[in-house]
Amino acid sequence: MLNATFDPADLTVFCRLEELGLVVAGQRIEAHRAVLECRIVEPDQWCRWCGAEGVSRGTEARRLAHVPFGERPTTLLVRVRRYRCSGCGRSWRQDSTAAAEPRSKLSRGALTWALTALVVDHLTISRVAARLGVSWHTANSAVLEEGRRRLIGDPARFDGVTVIGVDEHVWRHTRFGDRYVTVVIDLTPVRDGTGPARLLDMVEGRSKPVFKTWLEQQSPAFRAGIEVVAMDGFTGFKTAAAEALPDAIEVMDPFHVVQLAGDALDRTRQRVQQHTLGHRGHAGDPLYGVRRALHTGEAFLTDRQRARIEAVFAIDEHVEVETTWAVYQSIVAAYRHPDRAAGRRALQAVIDSLRHGVPEVLVELGKLGRTLHRRAGDVLAYFDLPGTSNGPTEAINGRLEHLRGSALGFRNLSNYIARSLLESGGFRPHLPA
């Protein structure tokens, strides 16, 4: 670009102030801040009550935090002209709502930038406040209010939802108050292959009434459109879905079925460990040494892991652990079978075998068998509905854990719900990149 032609510098265009109805009249660059003196383009000298022309009575300054440019927070010093009507005598100020909401400390451009930084770039409120040059409370209140207005409050975000996932989530680790919330996830994009799952809503508490009340508060069209509800083994979610969504299919996802089998394996190993050695697992104990390898799929075991497991199972006192491990591996293999119909038959055979003929000494397997038999319809429905799993729900739970860590914890549940929705609500396409 050796022969490039440049236009004269124009801060109004560069800072995109023409969108706010402002024009730059001057600038002051300081070490840690940039201040732009602006004037409102529209004069607004006509009386809003009688229509007579007003007489200028001077100006007053309004400071607005604006989009930061470079490393300096940018402040708009807007000169707002005051008028007095020559007819009725009333006074008014120039209309500055194009630049910012009344009594707002952030310009409309700053609000859009801050919301994008929070949703797209995953910045913390502290970093957003520092870049804007305002206090944490000012940034937090303004951004969350804008997020609720533009994104969370949009009723269209519930349109087209046909598959939902429900799970519990710990939002704070304290001894006082309710630590749990119920999260509802939109799994429709995952099943259709159109995108990732997104957080649909979050409700305080974890119980059947909490989930059922949330479902009943939704529109009849939303409830009629729900075809599948993916969930864990909690009976309350199942009964709530069955009562509020009688036409929907409940699916117990593979993650929680395998987790139930893994828990039975761990409890059996711990019980046998205590019975044979009289203490909890210590380094060097055979069962304790293979505790992680037991949860590895048999097809993925290394030669060393396989040899250690075989050595442990060669001990007669460990036969109960071996039996439970075999059931665990059968469940994992059923879900990993490339033929869904064959996998369904294999898992059905496991459920039937656990329903009858389990020795009384294997109390953990007996409990697992009763649970799987009671929820057999939900467990096996996974094979009939490809792409339906609550796994993405667990992934979003992980993102919320990261959010809580970045914010150093939350004390206000309303703020946490709003931040969680902005973080994982799938709003990225609605904001400029």
The span from the CA of 375 to the CA of 42, in Å, is 68
Does pLDDT of 16 surpass 60? Answer: yes
For range 362-383, the mean pLDDT? 92
Span 109-145, pLDDT tens digits: 999 999 999 999 999 999 999 999 999 999 999 999 9
Does residue 174 carry a pLDDT above 80?
A: no
Q: How far is 125 from 114, CA to CA, in rounded Å? A: 9
Split at pLDDT 50, 70, 90, the class of 224 is very high
Residue 73 φ/ψ, nearest 5 degrees: -60, 140
C-alpha 163/C-alpha 363 separation (Å) is: 36
Q: Provide the 3-class DSSP secondary structure of residue 375.
A: coil
Give the Cα separation of 124 and 136 in Å (integer): 10
At how many degrees (to 10) do helices 376-384 and 363-374 cross?
Answer: 60
For residue 234, the model assigns a pLDDT of: 86
pLDDT confidence of residue 110: 95
The sign of the CA dihedral 14, 18, 20, 23 is: positive
- Give the H/E segment covering residue 72: strand 72-85
pLDDT at 256: 86
Which tops the pLDDT comparison, 86 or 240?
240
Q: Output the pTM of the full model.
A: 0.83
**Dihedral angle of Cα 329, 332, 333, 336, to the nearest 10 degrees:** -160
What whole-number distance in Å separates Cα of residue 181 and Cα of residue 401?
13
Res. 373: pLDDT tops 70: yes
CA distance 379 to 348: 9
What average pLDDT score do residues 209-226 get? 94
Above 60 in pLDDT, residue 1?
A: no
Q: In the prediction, which pLDDT does 204 show?
A: 92
* Residues 323-352 pLDDT 10s: 999 999 999 999 999 999 999 999 999 999
Residues in the chain: 433
Check: CB of residue 209 under 8 Å from CB of residue 146.
no
Contacts of 26 (CB under 8 A, 6+ apart): 36, 37
Half-sphere exposure of 236 (CA within 13 A, CB side): 13
Give the rounded percent of residues in the chain with a pLDDT score beyond 70. 99
Average per-residue pLDDT in the chain? 90
What is the widest separation between alpha-carbon atoms in the chain? Answer: 104
What pLDDT is stored for residue 393 in this prediction? 83
DSSP letter for each residue of 163-176? EEEEEEEE----SS
- DSSP summary character for residue 9: P
Specify the pLDDT at position 2: 65
**pLDDT score of 387:** 67
Average pLDDT over residues 200-218: 93
Residue-range domain boundaries for the chain: 11-152, 158-253+390-430, 255-384
Q: So what's the pLDDT on residue 53?
A: 86
What's the burial of 72, exposed, middle or buried (CB within 10 Å: 0-12/13-18/19+)?
middle
Give the tens place of pLDDT for each residue, 232-275: 888 899 999 999 999 999 998 888 899 999 999 999 999 999 99
Say if CB 185 and CB 165 are below 8 A apart.
Answer: yes
Local confidence band at 395 (pLDDT 50, 70, 90 cut-offs) = confident
Give 273-308 pLDDT, tens digit per residue: 999 988 888 888 889 999 999 999 998 999 999 999
Nearest to 268 by CA among 353, 357, 367, 374: 367
CA distance 369 to 374: 8
38 versus 430: which is more confidently predicted?
Answer: 38
Percent of the chain with pLDDT over 90: 62
Mean pLDDT score, 155-175: 88
Half-sphere CA count of 368, side-chain side, radius 13 A: 28
Assign domain 158-253+390-430 one CATH number from 3.90.1150.10, 3.30.565.10, 3.40.430.10, 3.30.420.10: 3.30.420.10
